[in-house]
Amino acid sequence: MSAAARAVGAVLRDTPAPEPDGTRDPRARRYAEDIIELHDRLSYRRLPLEFRGAPLSLVEDPHGALVTVTGRDSQFPSRYLKGVLGFRLAQYLRLDWISADAVHRTAAFHEPLPHSPVENIHTVTLCARSGKIRGYVGLSCSADTESLPLDSACRIPFPTEAAHRIDLLARYARPGLGTHQAFEFKRFLRDQTMPRDEQYTRVPWHLMLGIGEALLTLGDGVRVVLGDAKEHVALRHLRLVGFDLHVVEGTSPYLCASDPMAPIYRQTVVAKPFAAPVPADISWYRDVVRSYLDGTSDLASWQAVITTLAAHRGRTGHRPDPARGGTRR
């Protein structure tokens, strides 16, 4: 067992076992409904115009009437960042993946603002007509004050590692690669109120494209990603855009009952933890997805896009692993 794995285990030995759910306060349910209604009314049409500096990615899609912008914490004006974090909260309340009692108790109307040594990255997909948020995915940085080796016993576990009680990063340890170059996927979300139309289908691809272009822009700033996700949702999309995922099966994740996020691990189908280096050929995948979204591709359907992506992945089973400096199978 690695030193980092022992550190993760030490943290979680002190974590109490999950407690049974209590009776939900009806006031908390009403408060949650008010928060959901509040965020449903908000529009972010001017966000791309009021962005601070050049975004890490900007995807304009007239065919799907969508606009996707990706940037760091500091690039979002404060009111917009609070709104984006509010969208995350409202969607989790709608899905019952966050404790309405905890949200009510703290009078929260958005998730906590970031206070991190490295900036987080946010990808937001907007409806070009209404300005409403239609999708979101984030990359969350390490809590380490200084960048530490991935196998350091002193590094702070990422939330996914803590919940699943595993070490996901030690396998990628190498000189010159630290925890400030590892980011956790957060909140791969599509607006739950969307009708199942073409726009609905395009949103996850917008999110993947925004993240992919951000990773290309950031270069060595992001070398390894991790997180947890369900097999036929985010894991499927990540594999299709080239990520060689190391998925850990058979974990039993939990958070103590006092944690607002505890309900997310009380589902019938539980997310699986994963980690992966950033693909060396991510620009190829980016080009395929972007060309389809902007209407310049020869591919005639989403099924053709998926087939093309999967075929390329099958042909490149031995890809350079930038995290390890070697070759992966």
Q: Enumerate the H helices of 219-270 as residue ranges.
A: 234-240
Q: For residue 242, which phi and psi values (nearest 5 degrees)?
A: 100, -5
- Domains identified in the chain and CATH numbers: 3-18+26-279 (3.40.630.30)
* pLDDT over 70 (residue 146): yes
Q: What is the pLDDT of residues 253-298, one digit of tens each?
A: 999 988 999 999 988 888 999 999 999 999 999 999 999 999 899 9
> DSSP character for 57?
E
* pLDDT over 70 (residue 153): yes
Please list, in sequence order, all residues whose beta carbon lies within 8 angstroms of the beta carbon of residue 231, skipping any fewer than 6 positions away: 272
Q: What percent of the chain has pLDDT over 70?
A: 88
Q: What is the pLDDT of residues 172-225, one digit of tens each?
A: 999 999 999 999 999 999 999 999 998 999 999 999 999 999 999 999 999 999
Quick one: pLDDT at residue 9? Answer: 45
Using alpha carbons, select from 182, 89, 79, 198 the residue that is nearest to residue 136: 89
Partners of 183 in the β-ladder: 225
> From start to end of the chain, where are the E strands?
57-61, 66-72, 121-127, 133-140, 182-190, 224-229, 246-247, 272-277, 319-321, 326-328
Q: Is 0.75 surpassed by the pTM of this model? A: yes
**In terms of C-beta density within 10 A (0-12 exposed, 13-18 middle, 19 or more buried), how is residue 296 classed?**
exposed
Q: For residue 223, which phi and psi values (nearest 5 degrees)?
A: -115, -30
| Tokens at 163, concatenated | 């919940």
Q: What is the pLDDT of residues 42-81, one digit of tens each?
A: 999 999 999 999 999 999 998 889 999 999 999 999 999 9
Partners of 328 in the β-ladder: 319
Quick one: pLDDT at residue 210? Answer: 96
Distance (Å, whole) CA 24 – CA 299 = 50
Mean pLDDT of the chain: 88
The residue assigned the tokens 């909140």 is 187
Please list, in sequence order, all residues whose beta carbon lies within 8 angstroms of the beta carbon of residue 253, skipping any fewer than 6 positions away: 163, 164, 165, 228, 265, 270, 271, 273
Q: What are the angstrom distances between the C-alpha of 168 and each of 37, 208, 225? A: 38, 22, 10
Quick one: pLDDT at residue 79? Answer: 95
Quick one: pLDDT at residue 317? Answer: 61
The residue assigned the tokens 């395009």 is 202
